[in-house]
Amino acid sequence: MATTDKASTRDRLLDAAAELTYRQGVSIGIDALCRSAGVSKRSMYQLFDSKDDLLAASLERRIPLYEEQLTPGPQDPATPRERILGVFERLEKFSAQPEYRGCPFLAALVELKDPEHPASAVAGGAKQRLKEMFRTEAELGGARDPEFLARQLMLLFDGASARAGARIETLDGLTTTTATVLLDAAGVE
């Protein structure tokens, strides 16, 4: 029974951290996290060494869903160009949802400003995997400089995510049109 309680407590803490940090930022206090999860600080510290470790674990837990929602699966029959554009189509769709606050990994990196922070390492890894997916697809599509194109696509993705998350910009067609221009200029079929 204790193992089930601990797993349940851990899940509640991870869920609370994901929800609160996405809505309010990583500076959310431990008291608010514990209150939202319905657990004591003592219980939190039995499961995590620090709030930093809780934030890192929460972000790590989000990666599979993030990647599943944004990136094409290994069996996707589309062309490399279509797979890249699909990421931006999905970004536009998600950004139109009222609860959208931008990319949680970019937000963590920007707010923390410390590449050594455990949550920054997790967030940076998630962003690096997206860049690598762009680079791989660009290479498969015949881009003249796949690495440079991947960097351009990341700049577009992160800038669009930040502006849409801050409700400064709506993305309807904006990112797919811009990505198309980048793909054309890079020679991606």
CATH number at residue 86: 1.10.357.10
94 and 60, same structural domain?
A: yes
Q: 178 and 86 in one domain?
A: yes
Q: What is the pLDDT of residue 3?
A: 47
Shared domain check, 95 and 17: no
- For the entire predicted model, the pTM comes to 0.90
User: What would the pLDDT profile of 138-188 be if each residue is shown by its tens digit?
Assistant: 999 999 999 999 999 999 999 999 999 999 999 999 999 999 999 999 999
Element (H, E) at 102: none
Token digits of residue 161:
């995510």
| Backbone CA torsion sign across 127, 131, 134, 137 | negative
User: Do 24 and 91 share a domain, yes or no?
Assistant: no
Q: Are both 23 and 109 inside the same structural domain?
A: no
Query: What share of the chain in percent tops pLDDT 70?
Result: 96
> How many residues can be counted in the chain?
189
**Domain housing 131:** 55-186
Considering its fold, how many domains does the chain have in total?
A: 2
How confident is the model over 113-131, as pLDDT tens digits?
A: 999 999 999 999 999 999 9
Mean pLDDT for the stretch of residues 95-110: 95
The reported pLDDT for the residue numbered 189 is: 86
